[in-house]
Structure 1
Amino acid sequence: MFIFLDKIFFDQEQNFTVLTKIKDHQPWTVLYISIFYFTSISIGALFFLGIQNVSKSGWSVIIHPIMEEISSFIPYGGGMILIILLLNTMDIVHIFHWMDADLYNPISLKYDEIIANKRIFLNIPFFLIRSIIYVLGCSFFYLNIKNISCSLYISHSLNDYKKLYFRSIIFVIFFSIISIFMTWDWIMSLNPHWFSTLFSWYVLSSFIITGISTITIVSIYLHKNGYFPLFSESHLHDLSKYLFSGSLLWTYLWFSQFLLYWYGNIPEEITYFIKREEIYNSIHFWMLIPNFLIPFFGLISSKSKSNYKIVFSLSLILLIGHYIDIYNLIAPDIHEGIKFCVFEIIGSLLIIGGFFIYILFSNFNKRKLNSSEGNPFFQESKNYKYPHI
């Protein structure tokens, strides 16, 4: 009888401990996912802007202020990520498993040889230094590019345009390098036993798609409300082509990673897919629907690419699909994987998303949407007409 009662109390205590552990870390996890998601949108928009400046694309010049203001969340999102990382180092939050000092101690029962062998890269001081470089670097280039762009609006100077051009080149090179380490640190290090050589490119493609989707949604919204009259179906058509090609790039990288791992069938590699299949019922396959199939068939027609309602809806679907992708990348690798809780996800999205929208539109109130007039290609962009529309 006593043994039976002891077992009941032990089971209840164990269940309570597990539940407490989940409750302690799940809100932080979904909050971290939302912060990373909205920060990636801003970074993707800035990277897309840098590409437009470097390639001297004339069609997109009138949309540059939209891209710059969407990028304005970078310092805030980056700062919040740094706070969560600091809370991890202080043992208040336990998202990054490898930060446990016992994993590196050969005497400890928790000793992990694989993680210990990565100590040169996975150590807290170096990790924080790298993260600070990512945040400060992206924030610096955002502020610098925006300031030069504002100066160009006033001066109409060719020298200012050259500064914008060369600063964008430096940023594209800088981000092409740090994006590799950023995704390793902020996502892939959540599971130090697993690695992928395609992972950084895969996440970068998601950055670009979510950035362009947000640029498209904001542009359509402002245009429909009469604040952005220069935006036309021709500009929408070109943005739609980027959405279409971006979704194909993401799918290609998704398939390349999956195909190589499935064909190799190496346990330490396929555990990435097996874990997600067990926790979320093969969510890594289902998310192909919003991220590939719907955009593919929805944007394959040239007429669809210039339809405001269709492109707006598909951009929104892509944003939802890539949130699921980010969630799928992060959540399963924290402890034994957190359960999918709709209320916590919606709450974190409302908090961080609301802050993101507030920053975005408060900046629009302080700035004219025709502030790219000083750009030498402004008239080309203003009069841009896609031939088949």
Structure 2
Amino acid sequence: MAIKEFFEIPKRYRTWSLALMGIGVLSVIIGFFLYGNSEHPQRFWAALLQNSVYFLLVVNASMFFLCATTLAWGSWQLTFGRVTQAISTAVIPIGIITAIILICLVTVDPHIYHWLHPDGDKILEGKAGFLNKGFFIVWTALTLIGWIVLGAKMRKLNSELDNNPPASNESAKKWLFKNTVWAAVFIVWFALTVMSTVPWLWLMSIDAHWYSTMYSWYTFASTFVAGIAVIALFVVYLKNQNYLEYTNEEHLHDLGKFMFAFSIFWTYLWFSQYMLIWYANIPEETVYFRSRIVTDHETGAYSGVFWFSFVINFLAPFLILMRRGSKRNYTTIAMMAIVILVGHWFDFYQMVFASVMKDHVTLNLFDFGVAAGFVGLIMFAVGNALTKKPLVAKNHPLMKESIIHHT
């Protein structure tokens, strides 16, 4: 069987990626004149915050997946490992865009973060050591630099053996150990950022009076399952283009397991955060859900989106991906990957907008146009990255186990 080593970007693929990026740029320009210069610029900046942070965390989840499986000395994912690496390259352009947006939010101050003006507010003054402009900018910069640098290091290590096969078993073990060490470094940095401080700073601090100890894990679960969905989509696409000859339904089955399992994990966090706050019934905690659910006195402005995201992010994956056959079907996996990506995009919409603008903001072409721009950018970055290296890593000590993988 002839193996197609390198990805060649189809004309249609490139056209779609450029068109979507064009729609995104046009949407931002039109949105700026419609909303950015209005009396309520929060509408414009909230959309940029929602989309940039969501898609950044989704593509960064690919590097987390790579490092987590490397730490576990997993091998099943190696046949499509270059897809995971390619997706992680999108962290660079999206990270730069996100950095610009976040810095603008604390310098231009379109009234997204109320902690920028803590004077007279004892709660905000008490949090000023953490919630201040200097710390926000420095930690955001360090976070993004760490993701980009460590991600680049992992991609470099994973391609070292392509042209330099290990001379002996000992040299192969040394390479695996070095890979494992750098994967551990990334995981530690990921834990210090995505699993703790970054969601607090970028998202939870929009409601600066409110906090949840489960918020970072909730954000991680949402973006990680969406990240697995992106990996699955590219794997299915490449298989349809007759690439990834060593990847089969066994590997797809395991990706489906991840999508199913972390949809359940997200739901566990969703329910736990809601249930504990509801049960405690403390006003400074329940205020978060006032605009998101139906209460005894009124219907929350975002209750429809809140419950819709629960249905689409839990019930759909749970009912459809429960069957073994569904997780081994390329069409079903692709459809569910899209459902998961869209569902968690809506979840991020209510996470941001229900805190920024308590009165319901109706989604329109501006919001979907901005999202389309980021989708096009991901397609463009991943497509270019896939052309740079062989689609299957050469001389990897564990590759044989991946090829004969059976689940």
For the criterion TM > 0.5, the same-fold answer is yes
Q: Which amino acid aligns with 1:376?
A: P
Aligned runs of 1:83-232 on 2, under 5 Å? 83-91=100-108, 93-100=110-117, 103-104=118-119, 111-157=120-166, 158=172, 159-179=174-194, 180-232=196-248
Deviation at 1:91, TM superposition (A): 2.2
Q: Percent identity?
A: 28
Deviation at 1:333, TM superposition (A): 1.4
Q: Does 1:375 align with 2:396?
A: yes
**Cα distance in structure 2, aligned partners of 1:169 and 1:375:** 19
| Conserved? CA contact 1:205–1:246, under 8 Å | yes
Give the match's secondary structure for 1:385: coil
For residue 287 of structure 1, what is the aligned residue in structure 2? 309
Runs of 4+ in structure 1 over 4 Å off: 16-19
For residue 340 of structure 1, what is the aligned residue in structure 2? 362
| Conserved? CA contact 2:68–2:187, under 8 Å | yes
Deviation at 1:340, TM superposition (A): 2.4
2:38 to 14, 17, 20: 20
Deviation at 1:282, TM superposition (A): 4.0
| Conserved? CA contact 2:301–2:358, under 8 Å | no
1:257 to 266, 273, 292: 273
Identify if the C-alpha distance between structure 1 residues 358 and 19 changes in structure 2 by more than 3 Å, giving closer, same or farther.
closer
For residue 380 of structure 2, what is the aligned residue in structure 1? 358
**Cα distance in structure 2, aligned partners of 1:32 and 1:18:** 13
Counting matched residue pairs gives 361
Moved more, 315-324 or 156-165: 156-165
Moved more, 248-257 or 168-177: 168-177
TM-score (structure 2 length as normaliser): 0.85
Aligned runs of 1:25-40 on 2, under 5 Å? 25-40=42-57
Deviation at 1:227, TM superposition (A): 1.9
| Conserved? CA contact 1:161–1:375, under 8 Å | no
* Structure 1: runs of 5+ lacking an equivalent: 1-15, 105-110
Give the match's secondary structure for 2:210: coil
Moved more, 28-37 or 186-195: 28-37
Q: Which amino acid aligns with 1:355?
A: L
* Structure 2: runs of 5+ lacking an equivalent: 1-33, 167-171, 294-299
**Cα distance in structure 1, aligned partners of 2:200 and 2:341:** 22
| Conserved? CA contact 2:42–2:357, under 8 Å | no
Q: Which amino acid aligns with 1:274?
A: R
Q: Which amino acid aligns with 2:243?
A: Y
Moved more, 333-342 or 71-80: 333-342
1:241-266 per-position Cα deviation (integer Å, ceiling 9, x unaligned): 11111001000010001110111111
Choose 1 or 2 for highest CA Rg. 1
**Cα distance in structure 2, aligned partners of 1:365 and 1:250:** 34
Deviation at 1:115, TM superposition (A): 0.8
For residue 99 of structure 2, what is the aligned residue in structure 1? 82
| Conserved? CA contact 2:124–2:209, under 8 Å | yes
Deviation at 1:285, TM superposition (A): 2.1
Q: Which amino acid aligns with 2:305?
A: I
Deviation at 1:366, TM superposition (A): 2.0
Using CA pairs below 8 Å that are at least 6 residues apart, which structure has the higher relative contact order?
Answer: 2
Q: What's the Cα RMSD here?
A: 1.9
Deviation at 1:19, TM superposition (A): 9.7
| Conserved? CA contact 1:42–1:74, under 8 Å | yes
Deviation at 1:321, TM superposition (A): 0.6
Moved more, 276-285 or 222-231: 276-285
Q: Does 1:239 align with 2:255?
A: yes
Q: Which amino acid aligns with 2:190?
A: F
For residue 74 of structure 2, what is the aligned residue in structure 1? 57
